[in-house]
């Protein structure tokens, strides 16, 4: 039986540049017990659809046409009071971030019992019993004992279970889940997905699952709708859409998804990134070209490497990076007066080497110390024991490392969030010129500009970008600018800390291709940190697995992905959505 039916839905937002159509002529229906996936890249209008169904469309957005029918009522005509009764009773919503969707000031019991009593006239005691039964159902151990705990006493995955229990306590017919597992680690994600699937099967709840992650869709959805820029591109049973996409966009989207099961040299047939619109395409720097940048980089790399070899010929066989018995301990927040408080140990006993031209993947869940490792190497965090060296030269802990340390230029970092890694108040030219000026690589202003324009072309950006500010670019484009900035330092080692996790899949594919090209071309070493195993598979030659600040396993990438030795690695690989339909 059809539960929800969306017909010809169009939502618009009036803005100062005219009407913005968020979604246009959307048709969608969900049956009882069906999990319907809604997938698309950022800006596709996924969340807008969820908001319309929940009646939570934010002003000034409005429904321009179409209707949303749920069990015979047109939701778009409901007044706020009736909608309020419907929400919670028949409609439930699971939000992305379990940290913020529970009220931290009330116990779980308070929140559950209030919600149950809001919708059913039951005594507090029987509401409490219901609440305990629900917590039990969503898989919280010792529900009776934990019901009086506060949200902060639960872990992220447990909290999301509590949110699901909260949604279920009124027995809704339809649940809208907006990126329910995006904020969670893979091993927890899997369990939440299984829980959702069981709910749909056992209770016959319809679920609208909004996500950007095709892996999640493949895991649990019965049918899927692919959205692009507010329009439905393709709809159908999950296996058909994923394994045999018919629309050009879906084909491109699937081609861009990194698969954990196989390593691609380059991503092929991916959707072209939108070129930044420019009012002044005529502007260019004469003599600038990608070849010029390539030539300059090669020439200077050779020059600098010869210098280094002359200086350190004795230890020329040293690796680009040697990390030995490393420990990082964060100082305690409140140092004890009498008791010795050692603080929090983020990393311990880390040993690995990285050679020229090699890509080392670092994987692990949140809190495993991946980012701390990167920060310790570049000197943003002090390490407390062990040693780090590069080409045989010792890299002291951050606060003792000289500002003029020779290795600073050779170690560069690409950050996770391209929105905060570029200074918004400086033009792209000023940002890119910084390393050239700072390390006195190019002194003349004209030469600098020519090189900057060229290097932008090398990272597949138009020259005109020089005169703009970072906020005028999309995330993928900003990440390219950040890569160009690192490249101009002529690094031997590029540390990439989750470089693509803030990007859409097709843009991720472009950035990964670019990193591979540059790595091949200039023979850099890359320390590639990611929680996404499929991405690491595409990039890494060797892999280090971190858990709770310790190395669990390290070795050849192919071996790790086909026959991991540590229990934890096996678990990680098993829990990652695998898109096995495709293999």
Partner 1 sequence: MLSRLKRATVENELLYLFLRKPLAQLALFVATMLIAGAFLANWIAPTNPYDLTSFDLLDSLIPPAWTETGDARFILGTDDQGRDLLSAILYGARLSLLVGLTSIAFASVLGVSVGITAGYLGGRFDAIVMRIADIQLSLPAILTALLIDGVARGLFPGAMHDELMIVVLTVAIGLSLWVNFARTARASTFVEKNKEYVQAAEIMGQHPLRIMLVQILPNILGPIMVILAIDLAVAILLEATLSFLGVGVPANQPSLGTLIRIGTEYLFSGEWWIVIFPSLTLIVLIVSVNILGDFLRDALNPRLR
Chain residues binding partner 1 by CB under 8 A are 13, 15-17, 20, 22, 42-43, 45, 48, 229, 378-380, 402-405, 408-409, 411-413, 415-417, 420-426, 434-435, 438, 469, 471-472, 474, 482, 485, 489
Strand boundaries in 407-510, DSSP class E: 411-414, 493-497
- 550-556 and 542-547 beta bridge pairing: antiparallel
Closest CA to 546 of 387, 278, 352: 352
Distance in angstroms (rounded) separating the CA atoms of residues 475 and 167: 34
Distance in angstroms (rounded) separating the CA atoms of residues 381 and 302: 31
Cβ distance to partner 1 smaller for residue 48 or 554 = 48
CB of 378 to partner 1, least distance (A): 5
Distance in angstroms (rounded) separating the CA atoms of residues 504 and 270: 12
Cβ distance to partner 1 smaller for residue 258 or 379 = 379
Cβ distance to partner 1 smaller for residue 201 or 471 = 471
Residue 335: which H helix or E strand, with range? none
CB of 503 to partner 1, least distance (A): 13
Closest CA to 5 of 29, 34, 25: 29
CB of 57 to partner 1, least distance (A): 13
Q: For residue 529, what are the β-bridge partners?
A: 362, 497
CB of 123 to partner 1, least distance (A): 42
Per-residue tokens: 395:
């890299």
CA distances from 339 to 86, 331, 332, 334 (A): 56, 14, 12, 11
CB of 26 to partner 1, least distance (A): 15
Cβ distance to partner 1 smaller for residue 219 or 504 = 504
For 363, residues 6+ apart whose C-beta sits below 8 A from its C-beta are 370, 529, 530, 531, 533, 536, 543, 544, 545, 546, 572
CB of 45 to partner 1, least distance (A): 8
Is there a contact between 9 and 225 (Cβ–Cβ < 8 Å)? no
CB of 570 to partner 1, least distance (A): 34
Interior CA angle at 241 toward 202 and 32, to 5°?
Answer: 25
Cβ distance to partner 1 smaller for residue 130 or 479 = 479
CB of 405 to partner 1, least distance (A): 7
Is there a contact between 227 and 528 (Cβ–Cβ < 8 Å)? no
Cβ distance to partner 1 smaller for residue 50 or 98 = 50
């Amino acid at each position: 039986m059809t539960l929800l039916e969306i017909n010809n839905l169009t939502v618009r937002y009036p803005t100062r540049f005219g009407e913005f159509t968020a979604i246009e002529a959307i048709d969608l229906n969900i049956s009882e017990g069906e999990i319907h996936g809604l997938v698309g890249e950022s800006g596709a209008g996924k969340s807008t659809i969820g908001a319309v169904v929940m009646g939570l469309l934010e002003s000034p957005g409005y429904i321009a046409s179409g209707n949303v029918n749920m069990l015979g009522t047109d939701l778009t005509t409901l007044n706020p009071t009736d909608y309020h009764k419907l929400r919670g009773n028949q409609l439930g919503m699971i939000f992305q971030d379990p940290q913020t969707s529970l009220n931290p000031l009330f116990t779980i019991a308070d929140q559950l019992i209030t919600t149950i009593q809001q919708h059913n006239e039951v005594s507090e005691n029987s509401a409490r019993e219901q609440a305990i039964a629900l917590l039990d159902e969503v898989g919280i151990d010792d529900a009776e004992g934990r019901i009086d705990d506060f949200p902060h006493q639960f872990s992220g995955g447990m909290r999301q279970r509590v949110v699901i229990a909260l949604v279920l306590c009124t027995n809704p017919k339809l649940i809208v889940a907006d990126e329910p597992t995006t904020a969670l680690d893979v091993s927890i994600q899997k369990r939440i997905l299984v829980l959702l699937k069981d709910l749909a099967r056992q209770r016959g709840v319809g679920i609208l699952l909004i996500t950007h992650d095709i892996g999640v869709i493949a895991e649990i959805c019965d049918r899927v709708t692919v959205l692009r820029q507010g329009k439905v591109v393709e709809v159908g049973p999950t296996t058909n859409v994923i394994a045999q996409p018919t629309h050009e966009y879906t084909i491109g989207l699937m081609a861009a998804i990194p698969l954990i099961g196989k390593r691609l040299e380059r991503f092929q047939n991916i959707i072209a990134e939108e070129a930044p619109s420019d009012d002044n395409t005529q502007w260019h720097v004469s003599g600038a070209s990608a070849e010029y940048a390539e030539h300059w980089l090669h020439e200077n790399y050779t020059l600098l490497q010869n210098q280094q070899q002359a200086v350190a010929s004795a230890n020329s066989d040293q690796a680009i990076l040697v990390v030995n018995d490393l420990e990082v301990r964060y100082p305690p927040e409140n140092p004890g007066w009498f008791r010795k408080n050692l603080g929090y140990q983020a990393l311990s006993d880390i040993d690995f080497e990285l050679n020229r031209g090699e890509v080392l993947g670092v994987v692990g869940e949140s809190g495993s110390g991946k980012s701390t490792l990167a920060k310790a190497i570049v000197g943003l965090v002090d390490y407390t024991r062990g040693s780090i060296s590069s080409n045989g030269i010792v890299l002291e802990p951050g606060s003792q490392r000289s500002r003029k340390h020779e290795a600073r230029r050779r170690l560069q970092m690409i950050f996770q969030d391209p929105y905060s890694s570029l200074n918004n108040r400086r033009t792209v030219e000023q940002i890119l010129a910084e390393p050239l000026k700072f390390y006195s690589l190019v002194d003349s202003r004209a030469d600098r500009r020519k090189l900057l324009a060229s290097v932008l072309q090398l990272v597949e950006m138009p020259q005109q970008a020089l005169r703009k500010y970072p906020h005028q670019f999309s995330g993928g484009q900003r990440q390219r600018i950040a890569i160009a900035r690192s490249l101009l330092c002529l690094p031997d080692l590029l540390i990439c800390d989750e470089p693509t996790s803030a990007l859409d899949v097709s843009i991720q594919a472009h950035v990964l291709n670019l990193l591979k090209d540059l790595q091949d071309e200039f023979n850099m070493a890359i320390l590639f940190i990611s929680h996404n195993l499929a991405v690491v598979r595409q990039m890494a030659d060797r892999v280090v697995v971190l858990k709770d600040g310790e190395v669990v396993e390290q070795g050849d990438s192919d071996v790790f992905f086909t026959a991991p030795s540590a229990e934890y690695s096996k678990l990680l690989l098993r829990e990652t959505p695998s898109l096995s339909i495709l293999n």
